[in-house]
Structure 1
């Protein structure tokens, strides 16, 4: 198979509930709870394995003090449900008791509680009086007790902690069933964006492996979403991209028209996939930012670096159309990290991603079109670490990192590549020629990829024999690619 220069790219139950029960007229006044205060950008994670501990940690996070609490045994589901209802009515925490009472005893003392209501068989070792909670307590400060947002992984697993959040007047946002990454849900992103500036509590054992919760929440609060979905590039999304360099039609179809016309062409292409794709299809650009050159140039690296100003009209046009742009690097004798850093100003944008093309990563004695280049896993890791840090530092949504490949030798030790939660890694199989050869390469490159790897496919208008139709691309290329580019 031949090769050529390539620029290959819930229904959520968002319960924005600020729930509260107004005290009944004529009710006996009761002490007001004091709610915990946190910095507006604070993120608290309550993700312990034990539901008992999660109930207590939630109480600590949301209440500085309370006149009382409702307590239930963790192993009695009916008692927990009844305790949750009572806690909400009284505007006090709901606490679970496990094998021993010590943790609940300590929390009652911390809350400076004067009473507790036991629901079910509960035995505590405390001087706090046991009695029924009042039917309606008073919420602090005119009924707006808490401005915190509580993101709940599984309401049924944390009924007591959810009740504590409702009692505190927090806004509840529920994750869709089976989803543990907030970035993957458009409804969650929309809700957290609406709560921007509020402290956030992540509740549920599913959040234990989230990685960098502060970044996740900060990115979601930007409100950036891909189409009607979430922020995660390849979770529930597929892309069809025009590939090429500005003003250079020989390098791909993107260079055959101006930015505005390219947007319309990309939209038309994506429309051809709608109805035959099992997930939404979004148009995209893959723009060659550094072009492998036949001459060494002034810097001797056999790569022509386009200025940011040349790329910006395409990036701006794509952004206005709700399309991501992938910046593609063909470094010649330079290195990928140095070239990526040239375009940091563009990569700071939420909808600009990065692609590395090892075919054009040459050794000190190599020349484009005379040898096929390669890159080490170590060099790719240097780029991915830099890009992930940029995403974290700027509070950006997750980005795609695309690796072009049509020979196994092009990415040495690919199976050892480091993964980052801030990045979705995709291998783009961009060989050209006869379909049997392309399919053989596609299958061979699927061996030995790192876990969680996504896949892309390229259709060449002139070099493929024949070029697959959209229907053939979706049915004959298996597993179905997440990114399909056209050159």
Structure 2
């Protein structure tokens, strides 16, 4: 990521202030509330949004299983402490985030805290390897629709008929292009190609592999928009070593990229733990295996660099994220995958993405779960105030 001088950051913060429509200068003390992990989609409700100390059921994606998955038992992650103020020259940065009319004071306060930390970290944010020719990041932003066509609960690409969904994607991409014309916006379809299940199945893997026909169908959706396809792995009790090789024939295509989901990766859990009952975990060694596999594929097939999306909404989902090692051939995006009210999404971005820098950042928006308590969905301009600015945006 590009470094930024203190003067530039002050000017940047001032420009945010000029855009303020309903902002209030606030300072939020303390740390983000611990999040309670549960199944995503529509299966878990926000307990309360009255105060910033109330935890929310924050999960990424619902596993589309042949055997229904019950509502998950609560598992609480340790509270992550992160700074909300800066010292020295950075203490002069006054961030006044803007929001749409009706945003709560706590939402604006959390936004200010996240932006302030991001601005303070930008000069030292790891630049990572120099992008190779053909690399999409950081010169592009990807706006993806997520899910699996077999499930209306997993995300937007299964919830709506094909043409309606693609028209929605067109409008969403246009909104992002208008909000930030400084980078080229690319549409994408993000298919969960290995789907965590509520039953072990014949081989005890607790996952279902999507059919080649469905993968080709969603690839054609992406091609129809001159976009990208992401194939995503919810491993269940299988392993990345078992699942990734089966997807390499698709990843040989220059416009197909990969996502991996620690929430539903139960390889490090006790045998027989059902996905979504306990939030799963990947270690940096797991992610680095994927990076090295993709790196070899790119080198062997002379492909442009691949993008790897790693979903995260709790620290313990990738407890040693700083040990992830991107390569020139594999660009890594840590995607803030939690749902809830705006304040919690800002806090999660600050605590689990900005506080643990890897390379590039992403942000996920849930059409239903983010709005359950009556909050309006975050707009592109509200997300773009974050630093670093997310370059991967996903809608479920």
Q: What residue number does 1:382 align with?
A: 289
1:322 aligns with 2:231: no
Residue of 446, 449, 460 corresponding to 2:357: 449
Change (3 A) 1:210 1:435: closer
C-alpha displacement at 1:257, in angstroms?
A: 3.6
C-alpha displacement at 1:5, in angstroms?
A: 4.6
Residue of 376, 379, 395 corresponding to 1:469: 379
Q: What residue number does 1:286 align with?
A: 190
2:189/2:221 contact within 8 Å kept: no
SS of the counterpart of 2:274? coil
Kindly tell me the number of residue pairs found equivalent between the two proteins.
Answer: 266
Change (3 A) 1:359 1:330: same
1:237 aligns with 2:120: no
More deviation, 336-345/322-331: 336-345
Residue of 325, 330, 352 corresponding to 1:418: 325
2:60/2:337 contact within 8 Å kept: no
- Between the two structures, name the one with larger relative contact order (CA 8 Å, sep ≥ 6): 2
C-alpha displacement at 1:309, in angstroms?
A: 1.8
C-alpha displacement at 1:260, in angstroms?
A: 4.8
Residue of 230, 248, 267 corresponding to 1:344: 248
Following superposition of structure 1 onto structure 2, how do residues 143-154 of structure 1 map, counting pairs within 5 Å? none
Rounded Cα–Cα distance in structure 2 between residues aligned with 1:3 and 1:329: 19
More deviation, 384-393/365-374: 365-374
Rounded Cα–Cα distance in structure 1 between residues aligned with 2:58 and 2:200: 21
Rounded Cα–Cα distance in structure 2 between residues aligned with 1:290 and 1:312: 14
C-alpha displacement at 1:424, in angstroms?
A: 0.8
Rounded Cα–Cα distance in structure 2 between residues aligned with 1:444 and 1:251: 26
Q: What residue number does 1:266 align with?
A: 169
2:59/2:337 contact within 8 Å kept: no
SS of the counterpart of 2:179? coil
TM-score (norm 2): 0.64
C-alpha displacement at 1:356, in angstroms?
A: 0.6
Considering only aligned residues, what root-mean-square deviation do their CA atoms show, in Å?
Answer: 2.0
Residue of 275, 290, 296 corresponding to 2:178: 275
1:484 aligns with 2:393: yes
1:308 aligns with 2:308: no
1:409 aligns with 2:316: yes
| CA deviation vs aligned residue, 1:413-452 (integer Å, no higher than 9, x gap) | 11111221101110001100111111111101222323xx
**Higher Rg:** 1
Rounded Cα–Cα distance in structure 2 between residues aligned with 1:391 and 1:379: 19
1:5/1:292 contact within 8 Å kept: no
| CA deviation vs aligned residue, 1:268-292 (integer Å, no higher than 9, x gap) | 2100112211312111111110111
Q: What residue number does 1:295 align with?
A: 199
| CA deviation vs aligned residue, 1:320-371 (integer Å, no higher than 9, x gap) | 4210111111000111232111111111100100011000011224211210
Rounded Cα–Cα distance in structure 1 between residues aligned with 2:272 and 2:199: 13
1:400/1:423 contact within 8 Å kept: yes
Change (3 A) 1:375 1:352: same
Higher percent of residues as strand: 1
Tell me, which stretches of 5 or more residues in structure 2 are unaligned? 1-55, 63-128
Rounded Cα–Cα distance in structure 1 between residues aligned with 2:324 and 2:394: 24
Rounded Cα–Cα distance in structure 2 between residues aligned with 1:319 and 1:334: 30
1:353/1:400 contact within 8 Å kept: yes
Rounded Cα–Cα distance in structure 1 between residues aligned with 2:302 and 2:139: 22
1:458 aligns with 2:364: yes
Rounded Cα–Cα distance in structure 2 between residues aligned with 1:3 and 1:389: 35
TM-score (norm 1): 0.52
Q: What residue number does 1:373 align with?
A: 280
Rounded Cα–Cα distance in structure 2 between residues aligned with 1:259 and 1:266: 11
More deviation, 286-295/263-272: 263-272
2:187/2:225 contact within 8 Å kept: no
Tell me, which stretches of 5 or more residues in structure 1 are unaligned? 8-208, 221-230
Rounded Cα–Cα distance in structure 2 between residues aligned with 1:456 and 1:448: 13
C-alpha displacement at 1:469, in angstroms?
A: 2.0
